[in-house]
Amino acid sequence: MSVEPQTTAAAMSAVDYDDAIVKKFIFATLLFGVVGMLVGVILALQLAWWPANLGLEWTTFGRLRPLHTNAVIFAFTGNFIFAGVYYSIQRLLKTRLFNDVLSNIHFWGWQLIIVSAAVSLPMGWTQGKEYAELIWPIDLSIAVIWVVFAINFFGTIAVRKVKHLYVAIWFYMSMVITIAVLHIFNNLSMPATILRSYPIYAGMTDALVQWWYGHNAVGFLLTTPILGLMYYFLPKSVERPVFSYRLSIIHFWALIFLYIWAGPHHLLYSALPDWSQTLGMIFSVMLIAPSWGGMLNGLLTLRGAWDRLRTDPIVKFWVVAVTFYGMSTFEGPMMAIRAVNSLSHYTDWTIGHVHSGALGWVGMAAFAMIYWLVPRLWKTTIHSPAAVTLHFWIATIGIVLYVVAMWSSGITQGLMWRAIDDAGQLQYPIFMDTVLELMPFYAIRLIGGTMYLTGMLMACWNILMTVRGAPASAAAARPATAK
Ligand code: HEM
Ligand code: HEM
């Protein structure tokens, strides 16, 4: 099965692709990657050494933490996804993006939302819902800009020159639709002042809607669009067709069907009805199947090209990304089992799981895509291939240090909290006893995180040098012709 769908004769003629918008989203990804990860490193430092809170209300852990999560999820990952989606749908559909004005409103609107988040969160203006902290006026702007994106996306599909919709586009579509639904329903609230609003849901219903949103934000922002990008950019990078197109279709439908029901695994042992918790647990465990189908489809695309793993750093990034996808989608279902969750919940094990997905899967896929795209967009070669390889190793070792430290810390924490002495009393009733035990792990996480950030900075340097050294004709974004 071919990597891309067959094209008609008309479609084969040169198309004036809009690559300027892709370039803008790449720059924004790099900028906000640095900001978001720098804040992550500051948080890691604060947990290892509390004076780093600086005694200022704006820089306390509680305010910087949502700044980190919003920056890495919506700014770094969001911009990376938009860059990849806009580049690939034009090629897959052999047409220019639907409307240049909409593309630019999407870009600038999204960056404005990010800047508002960067101001409002340290000020402490928040709705208090994880990953949905932003106050209602910003939420409204997100809804508007997302609709602009959706019109541009579906408009491009409508004016396509190729009938078949390659599987990557199905993955993107699931993101465009689901994120809109999740965002709108989770943020339905009654504004009281410009900074404050009250959710229309109460109590457990509010919690359930919030984690239906929270889990599917992971599913439809940190997972499905990136799988779509994997199905486009991984075969391109290894110059091989995707291992099984049929498997990719099964992967898609099974994944989106199962994901949407798994949210209650965030509310195990809560007041949520038991049947609903069990439903969440069962759907989470079933998720292993499509997730691993996707992982194998990615890895097996390399069959016959494994030798490139030794020489091509982009292939290295992909292999680590897909492997971490497999690891975190095995770990997640395990953590969704009630008995395991009773140990892992509230502990650093969750943080380890999050970052094996975030740094391993999301981050490494982003770097693989960007290193492949930049030389093509600017019609040049990468400034320093050696620095790409070095980045790969620094980042990979950084992830291992981060994740292993958090697993060790989480399991230590969980076991200490539940330890009972001979008299049936809690063995460690003083919370601080457990915290002190975790300090070495926090130091190791800080080292791992700093390494990962260093890799990110190296990528910025390498890409800026590549762009600066590009031929002048390529620096002007248009016209880029079909290939
Ligand atoms: C089959 C796939 C997956 C399943 C079933 C799953 C399951 C879980 C479970 C059970 C938790 C802990 C909930 C708790 O105790 O509060 C969790 C947390 C989390 N997972 Fe996953 N996971 C999966 C894949 C992923 C991937 C690939 C990523 C990232 C790219 C990810 C990101 C997160 C995040 C951000 C949290 C923390 C949520 C919070 O703030 O509490 N997960 N996941
Ligand atoms: C240099 C890289 C990074 C460092 C040092 C870092 C560090 C941290 C720290 C210290 C926390 C708070 C943990 C706690 O509350 O105990 C955190 C939370 C989090 N980070 Fe990162 N991070 C990095 C990159 C990323 C990236 C790239 C993503 C996503 C794409 C990400 C997603 C998250 C999420 C979702 C949480 C909240 C987890 C939860 O509530 O369970 N991080 N990070």
Q: Give the number of the atom of ligand 1 that is nearest the alpha carbon of residue 334.
A: 10
Q: Give the number of the atom of ligand 1 that is nearest the alpha carbon of residue 131.
A: 40
Any idea what DSSP says for residue 480? Answer: B
Instruction: From 381, 383, 398, 359, select the one nearest 459 (Cα to Cα).
Output: 383
Give the model's pLDDT for residue 472.
77
Instruction: From 247, 213, 209, select the one nearest 231 (Cα to Cα).
Output: 247
Using CA positions, which residue lies closest to atom 20 of ligand 2? 69
**Is the CB of 270 inside a 6 Å radius of any atom of ligand 1?**
no
Give the model's pLDDT for residue 483.
35
Q: What angle do CA 74, 217, 358 make, to 5 degrees?
A: 65
User: For each of the chain's 483 residues, which pLDDT tens digit applies?
Assistant: 444 444 444 455 588 999 999 999 999 999 999 999 999 999 999 999 999 999 999 999 999 999 999 999 999 999 999 999 999 999 999 999 999 999 999 999 999 999 999 999 999 999 999 999 999 999 999 999 999 999 999 999 999 999 999 999 999 999 999 999 999 999 999 999 999 999 999 999 999 999 999 999 999 999 999 999 999 999 999 999 999 999 999 999 999 999 999 999 999 999 999 999 999 999 999 999 999 999 999 999 999 889 999 999 999 999 999 999 999 999 999 999 999 999 999 999 999 999 999 999 999 999 999 999 999 999 999 999 999 999 999 999 999 999 999 999 999 999 999 999 999 999 999 999 999 999 999 999 999 999 999 999 999 999 999 999 988 766 554 443 333
Beta-carbon contacts of 299 under 8 Å, excluding residues fewer than 6 positions away, are 319, 322, 323
* Ligand 1 centroid – CA 354 distance (Å): 6
Residue to mutate, 345, 351, 403, ligand 2, most ligand atoms under 8 Å from C-beta: 351
Within its chain, how far is the Cα of 289 from the centroid? 21
Q: Which single residue is written with the structure tokens 């070669």? A: 381
Nearest ligand, CA 221:
1
* Ligand 2 centroid – CA 147 distance (Å): 28
Give the model's pLDDT for residue 1.
41
* Sign of the torsion angle spanned by Cα atoms 128, 134, 137, 142: negative
Buried b / exposed e over 112-150, threshold 16 CB at 10 Å, is ebbebbbebbbeebbbebebbbbbbebbebbeebbebbb
**Is the CB of 255 inside a 6 Å radius of any atom of ligand 1?**
no
Nearest ligand, CA 66:
2
Q: Give the number of the atom of ligand 2 that is nearest the alpha carbon of residue 446.
A: 5
* Ligand 2 centroid – CA 189 distance (Å): 28
* Rg, C-alpha atoms of the chain: 22
Residue to mutate, 283, 330, 354, 355, ligand 1, most ligand atoms under 8 Å from C-beta: 354
Task: Look at phi and psi of residue 88 and say left if phi exceeds 0, alpha if psi is from -120 to 50, else beta.
Answer: alpha
Within its chain, how far is the Cα of 193 from the centroid? 32
What does each C-alpha distance from 43 to 54, 218, 349 come to in angstroms? 12, 21, 17
Give the model's pLDDT for residue 395.
98
Beta-carbon contacts of 56 under 8 Å, excluding residues fewer than 6 positions away, are none
Q: Token pair of 74, please?
A: 């919506």
Give the model's pLDDT for residue 13.
59
Give the model's pLDDT for residue 480.
39
Strands (E) across 157-237 are located at 189-191, 197-199
Interatomic CA distance for residues 41 and 253, integer angstroms: 37
What does each C-alpha distance from 454 to 2, 39, 68, 391 come to in angstroms? 38, 13, 17, 8
What is the residue extent of each domain of the chain? 17-470
**Is the CB of 283 inside a 6 Å radius of any atom of ligand 1?**
no
Give the model's pLDDT for residue 402.
98
Give the model's pLDDT for residue 470.
87
Interatomic CA distance for residues 126 and 146, integer angstroms: 21
Interatomic CA distance for residues 458 and 182, integer angstroms: 35
Instruction: From 305, 307, 333, 325, select the one nearest 365 (Cα to Cα).
Output: 325
Interatomic CA distance for residues 212 and 262, integer angstroms: 8
Interatomic CA distance for residues 29 and 87, integer angstroms: 14
17-470 is a CATH 1.20.210.10 domain: yes
Give the model's pLDDT for residue 463.
98
Interatomic CA distance for residues 103 and 120, integer angstroms: 26
Interatomic CA distance for residues 151 and 434, integer angstroms: 51
